[in-house]
Structure 1
Amino acid sequence: MIRTKFFKLLSLLFLIIFASGCIDPTATDDIPISDLNSEDLVESLQELIPGRMDSPLPDETGLGEQNKTEENDSTARLADYISPEVPEIPTYTEEKSNVVYPKEYRRLSLNFQRGIVSEDEKIASEVFNITGKTSGYNIKDACNVFDYVNQHWEYRYEKNSDFFFKASQTINEGYKGDCDDYSIVMSALLKNMGFNTRVVTATNETYGHAYPELYIGNNQETLSEILGYVQSRYYYAENIWYSNRELEDGEIQYWLNFDWSGSNGYRHPGGVYFEGVEVIYYPTGLIEF
């Protein structure tokens, strides 16, 4: 019942804050976190936020210290590294055809789906431009896409929060947009490569934000292989953050944070998550609160 009560409050909070726009990727680390007065409401907030995990880097590798020696060592390791395959698209066993979501969430879900048109010729061309490949993609290619998009991204505040550009339009305009546009572009590129993403919106008392996550499997072995590659590639990363999603049958899916690198300076996949009350949008139309 706590979730049901809070859901009614969340609808208003979500519309007011998220409509105000996203965080500028040049923001500092000082992101205000929700500090609600009601203890019961705070507990409800915490229940609604999925579990977060970070993968600490082993001390013996020296990762996290930014110097030329480590960069050369990292490059040498990657030269002989076989990039792990990104797992196939998961199934959503919890999705029920008779579920009816509130209007504001249905509208946002459709906006994301309409913006993420991965079959667009422009998207396919851009993937080839970045990776030089038309198939056989792996986590290395996903990271190449992450790096390319973030190197070219220019934050632009969008006044009309109810309107989302298609990914191809944002690319044609030179990778300019806010967090909605970024999430759509990144998702479209990765989806064209055969990967699966989901878009997460998070709100606190001050900000609204959206970011994509990349599905990286449902077992520890695959998770470790992918995180190992990311840690080796981005030698300066202190931690690699990902989230887990437990299904009704006990299966656990893992999702890697693919938020833009400019946010708080985490210039690698798996940066620290933006904290807030989350709503998760899947490509099938499934919505999780």
Structure 2
Amino acid sequence: MVHVKALKFIVLIFLVSLTAGCMDIGNLKEGLVADGMNKLLPEGTVPEEELEAEEADLVGSVESAESIASTGIPEVPSYSEEKSGAVYPKEYRLLSLNFRRAIGAGEERTGEEVYNITGKTSGYNIEDACAVYNYVNRNWQYRYDKNAEFFFGASQTIDSGYIGDCDDYSIVMSALLKNMGFNTRVVTAYNESYGHAYPELYIGDDRDAASGILDYIAERYPSAENVWYSERVLEDGQGTQYWLNFDWSGSNGYRHPGGVYFQGASIIYYPNGLVEF
């Protein structure tokens, strides 16, 4: 029996709770909820005077992506229930907007790269998502960015030969998966030593379907002792969403989707502008 570890996450606002865990070869395990967090206070690259106008365009309803068959990834979830007119502190709104701008930059170039990796223009499934993960990680060259205020657009990082830090990685991975019709969110986290950013891939709100995707990951990557995911539990009987860790950090140093999570207090940024603390 594989030992199952639990990732501690913060309790989220907006009547949403988040739990996390890892899969013990095909079985979903619930994790723990932790209290307390360290605030992340990033600087943005968007001029403050542009922020309100940009957000008015970007926080519209999220369109559902085409549902994908076989070992496919399900439709993009709706976040309409969380749009309660909440106003976030400026630094979080700036970071959210910068992530969305960078992910959406150069969509044509991003599409070309998806085709270069998968040889496909549609019909993507979890195998293709893994192919993208493998390709990016195989080519990634980490470079420390002294100017943490600046985010490169996804296409710029691709053209540079996949050189960048964890912010750039999260942006590129999210952009490639978005171009394929999948949904991601970016998580920023801080612990007592340093900060980190990583993407998560939405794998649906059906436990059995999510378990099937995790089974596929476990079979494809025999080195994976655990496959880590997180659960976003909605109140009022609205169900549970499952998110697969798409960070570059794998258990025991092996890189695979569902690697061990970075331990730290988290803030989550969604593609429609929702921010969860």
- TM-score scaled by length of structure 2: 0.76
Q: In structure 2, what is the equivalent of residue 265 of structure 1? A: 253
Aligned 1:150-169 pairs, distance under 5 A = 150-169=137-156
Q: Do structure 1's residue 237 and structure 2's residue 220 form an aligned pair?
A: no
Contact conserved, 1:266 with 1:272, CA < 8 A, in 2?
no
Report SS of the residue matched to 1:107.
helix
The CA deviation at 1:98 is: 1.8
Contact conserved, 2:191 with 2:264, CA < 8 A, in 1?
yes
Report SS of the residue matched to 1:182.
helix
Q: Do structure 1's residue 94 and structure 2's residue 81 form an aligned pair?
A: yes
- Relative to structure 1, is the Cα distance of residues 168 and 263 closer, same or farther in structure 2, using a 3 angstrom cutoff? farther
Q: In structure 1, what is the equivalent of residue 19 of structure 2? A: 51
Q: In structure 2, what is the equivalent of residue 282 of structure 1? A: 270
- Relative to structure 1, is the Cα distance of residues 196 and 94 closer, same or farther in structure 2, using a 3 angstrom cutoff? same
Larger relative contact order, structure 1 or 2 (CA cutoff 8 Å, min sep 6): 1
- Relative to structure 1, is the Cα distance of residues 46 and 85 closer, same or farther in structure 2, using a 3 angstrom cutoff? closer
The CA deviation at 1:57 is: 2.4
* Stretches (4+) displaced over 6 A: none
- Relative to structure 1, is the Cα distance of residues 263 and 122 closer, same or farther in structure 2, using a 3 angstrom cutoff? farther
Contact conserved, 2:143 with 2:165, CA < 8 A, in 1?
yes
Greater share of helix residues, 1 or 2?
1
- Tell me which moved more, 145-154 or 88-97: 88-97
How far, CA to CA, are the matches of 1:223 and 1:51 in structure 2? 15
The CA deviation at 1:181 is: 0.1
Report SS of the residue matched to 1:168.
helix
- TM-score scaled by length of structure 1: 0.73
Contact conserved, 2:105 with 2:153, CA < 8 A, in 1?
no
| From 125, 135, 158, the counterpart of 1:138 | 125
Q: Do structure 1's residue 174 and structure 2's residue 161 form an aligned pair?
A: yes
Largest Rg, 1 or 2: 1
The CA deviation at 1:263 is: 8.3
Aligned 1:85-234 pairs, distance under 5 A = 85-96=72-83, 98-117=85-104, 120-234=107-221
The CA deviation at 1:115 is: 0.5
How far, CA to CA, are the matches of 1:114 and 1:281 in structure 2? 13
**RMSD (CA atoms):** 2.0
Q: Which runs of 5+ in 1 are unaligned?
A: 1-42, 59-81
The CA deviation at 1:215 is: 0.2
- Relative to structure 1, is the Cα distance of residues 154 and 193 closer, same or farther in structure 2, using a 3 angstrom cutoff? same
